[in-house]
Amino acid sequence: MPFIADLQKYKSLSIVGMDKNTGKTVCLNYVLSRLRNMGIKTAVTSIGIDGERVDQVFGSHKPEITLYEGMQFITSEKHYNTRQLLSKVIDVDTERTALGRLITAEVLCSGKVLLSGAGTTEKLRRQINAFENNNIDITIIDGALSRMSLASPSVTDAMILCTGAAVSPNIRQLIVKTRFTFDLINLPAIENHELANRLSQHTAGLWAVDNDGMIHDLEIPSVFLLEKSTQDIFSHGNTLYVSGAVSDKLLKYLSTKKNIAEQTLIVRDFTKLFVTPEVYAAYTKKGGRIQVLQQSKLVAVCLNPTSPHGYTIDSDDACLRLSEALGVPTWDVCKIKQ
């Protein structure tokens, strides 16, 4: 598929799913196979556990992860010992996880492996840097359910979004839910790069930005304490920066303000938004704007037309309608793997 050529531009890639069984592993296997054929040195790891033969929730068959000669990977001791490939150990992490120490290895003979990697984004960043220093062209992070944080532009350079029948058997609802996530991923970055750099230094609390670009500490450590504050958060201007998570509660609060159409809410990136489609739509419909310090680079949207509950949606129809709704091509992962 055309998006594979784009991956040569990036040092790291996350593959994330909107729900379980949206085709992340099939997509990963396709990407790994193509990168191998292109001679691109690749490393792979995971947040969570990926590559199991049987889904632990539904009991259905799942595709296993196939790695090829020359690729590097990180997994726990427990799963390294169950690998079905020949490999050599490059490094053993001194930190222990519930599944043992994390092992970095290189594949000597192609085969299958279970991946269980770092539990934090900070750890992932260090691993990506280590791979890059070891002349790896691209590191791929296979995501886990509800762990969109690994798709943050502060962690990986680019991402692939996987959706499908597991999200909803109704194509209209599938489009609505996928479009919402797609819109958050593509929220515009603020144009003032110097201001973005200064705001990124603030890792806690709420901050106001005045018309001259000056940053003011509102002395509110969390959005959850906003209602207890007597301070006018717009006394310095109409731009507000939230360094942490943003929930429905904040958007509802801002929606009650008379100057909502003049407001700009800045967040670090889309992974900091924990809002529902209904509240987000109500906020933006009233004129509220959200911008990010760093915009995520979405390189592809992939679809799995089969649900673990036993139903299948029309692949061609779903891909066509999603492509029209999103304005970007959508690929059926069950077809591109062939």
222-262: pLDDT as tens digits: 777 776 666 678 888 899 999 988 999 999 989 988 889 99
Cβ proximity of 133 and 11 under 8 Å: no
| Domains of the chain (ranges, CATH numbers) | 3-186+296-336 (3.40.50), 193-292 (no CATH)
Spatial contact of 103 and 94, defined as CB atoms under 8 Å apart: no
Q: What is the pLDDT of residue 21?
A: 84
CA distances from 332 to 16, 129, 134, 186 (A): 15, 32, 34, 21
pLDDT at 56: 46
Contact indicator for 157, 328 with CB cutoff of 8 Å: no
Q: What is the pLDDT of residue 146?
A: 52
In this predicted structure, what is the pLDDT of residue 334? Answer: 77
Provide the pLDDT for residue 338: 47
Q: Return the pLDDT at 94.
A: 85
Q: What phi and psi, each to the nearest 5 degrees, are found at residue 160?
A: -120, 130
Nearest by Cα to 134 from 182, 52, 71, 226: 71
The low-confidence residues of the chain, meaning pLDDT below 50, are 51-52, 54, 56-59, 145, 338
> Tell me: the pLDDT tens digits for 65-106?
999 999 999 999 999 999 999 999 999 998 888 888 999 999
39 CB neighbour count, 10 Å cutoff: 9
Residue located via tokens 């196979």: 33
CA distance 92 to 76: 9
pLDDT at 80: 93
